Amino acid sequence: MPDTRIIISTRCYLESARYDRVGLKGRIAAVSFEAIDNGYIGARHTWSASASVLRSKGMITPDCEKQIKLIEWFGRCIANTDMHFGNLSFFWDKQDATVRLRLAPVYDMLPMLYAPEKSEIVDRVFKAPLVVEVGIAVELARQFWNDLASHEDVSGEFRKIAADNASLLNEKK
């Protein structure tokens, strides 16, 4: 796990070390899902749909496909409205003419529905997905919301929002 730290000023920030760096100048080969989809699929419908195509091409394992689907559904269940193809990456390796991809650590996974607009808080309502294709995603998201709802560093207003969102997911049992 990369080194991380929380920075609190007028806002709260999580700073983490880059996972694609080694030493002072070394890099680990990583590529965004956007670049992979553009180069090998050209669709960019959903992470899950593109993962299925990559698996059928032998570029990712069935387990990697399952991880991507879990991550996508978890994101939907935590109100991450910013899951574009630039927000998921892979480590890659090319052997002969075959490209093999492994999922890189997840980043930028947060409830973006509630992101401020022009530094202002905007009231928004989370609508839980009607159907969740990966059941464990609901359990993980419920734990996420419950943890937020009980965290003392989270404002009272947002703890209430988090508790309400956990309750919405309780209906998905």
Active site residue 82: yes
Please provide residue 147's backbone torsions phi and psi, each rounded to the nearest 5 degrees: -60, -45
| Strand-strand pairing, 12-16 and 4-8 | antiparallel
| Strand-strand pairing, 30-32 and 26-27 | unpaired
Which stretches of 24-173 are assigned E, i.e. beta strand?
26-27, 30-32, 89-95, 98-103
Which entry of 82, 93, 123, 153 is annotated as an active-site residue?
Answer: 82
Rounded CA separation 140/78 (Å):
9
CB count in 10 Å sphere of residue 84: 13
Rounded CA separation 58/54 (Å):
6
Residues recognised as catalytic? 82
